[in-house]
Amino acid sequence: MRIRLPKPPKVPRPRVRTLRDRLQQLITLSAETRIAALVEVMHWYDDAAAHLLSKNLIGVDAAVDLQEAKKLRQQGIASGSLSEKENKFSFAIDFYRRGCDVINTPRLAEYYKKLAAKTPVLERREQRLQKKHGELFQHLQRIVGSGMQITVTDSRKPVQHDPWLQKLCYNRVAATQLSQKFHKEGLLPVFLNQLELLSRRFAFVPDGAGGYIYDSEQHLKATYQLLDSFASYVRSGTAPKAIVRRGPGRGRRKKV
């Protein structure tokens, strides 16, 4: 009796267009956003390497390049410096590209050249964003305190943290929506709307291996601490006098 062994599962080839979209996210002044984009690019190359390996298209030289890429990647993960982390990840991606040269992929340097060319425009845009939405985010920053920096950037993702959870970045669209809510409804509705996001950052604790794990007890504790901080801020005299604004149709009744 002949026994047929099951065929190994097919590993799909990742789309180069997806890679281009991730590389496009490098065109920003936010180092945190660029690092997050580089991480996504490395994940793309993980999928590409797995696909090529399933097709027996990884040669000896390519395997050496992929090993060097992994080494640089780990060095970047372990680094506590934003600039060093970005450099290590960039070098790793260059080796990933060499290891996956069977697939024609764009060079990382092309997107850093685009970033250099657009930097003056991006700087002016970021200054306008800070000026336009500064009032609201100053209030939120005072409530949260020094444990986390809140900024407005030109990133593609609406909201994202940096790799060390020390900075929370809102993009133009997200900041505009919150500012509109602030001017229409007041500070309290905005704070309650963002409370889950703000408290969740403090719920992640170091895992001892360079990463973070979620702690539900810390999450609950952070939520109560932020509520106390909001109450203290309202009593401090620096918060807006009306933390809840009157909506349409809630004004004084006209005398008949």
- What does the domain layout of the chain look like in residue ranges? 16-106, 120-236
Residue that the structure tokens 């060079």 belong to: 107
Q: Check if the beta carbon of residue 72 is closer than 8 Å to that of residue 87.
A: no
pLDDT band at 207 (very low <50, low <70, confident <90, very high): confident
pLDDT band at 97 (very low <50, low <70, confident <90, very high): very high
Determine the angle formed by the axes of helices 108-144 and 172-185, rounding to 10 degrees.
Answer: 20
Closest CA to 144 of 105, 191, 180: 191
Over pLDDT 90: what percentage of the chain?
A: 60
State the pTM of this model: 0.71
Query: Is the model's pLDDT at 256 over the cut of 70?
Result: no
Q: Check if the beta carbon of residue 38 is closer than 8 Å to that of residue 19.
A: no
Closest CA to 195 of 204, 187, 184: 187
| Mean pLDDT of all residues in 167-188 | 91
pLDDT digits (tens, 9 = 90+) for 132-164: 888 899 999 999 998 888 888 877 788 887 767
Measured CA to CA, the distance from residue 116 to residue 135 in angstroms comes to: 30
Query: Is the model's pLDDT at 249 over the cut of 80?
Result: no
Tokens at 157, concatenated:
């993702």
Q: Residue 165 region, left (φ>0) first, then alpha (ψ -120 to 50), else beta?
A: left
Over pLDDT 70: what percentage of the chain?
A: 92
Residue that the structure tokens 């092309």 belong to: 110
Q: Which of 2-11, 61-70, 197-206, 242-251 has the lowest mean pLDDT?
A: 242-251
Q: Please report the pLDDT score of residue 206 as a whole number.
A: 79
Tokens at 239, concatenated:
């918060």
Closest CA to 73 of 102, 45, 48, 113: 45
Helices (H), strands (E): how many in the chain?
Answer: 8, 5
| Mean pLDDT of all residues in 92-112 | 96
Residue that the structure tokens 């005072």 belong to: 142
Residue type for position 109: A
Q: Backbone phi, then psi, for 170, in 5-degree steps?
A: -105, 140
Closest CA to 154 of 123, 183, 182: 123
pLDDT band at 5 (very low <50, low <70, confident <90, very high): low
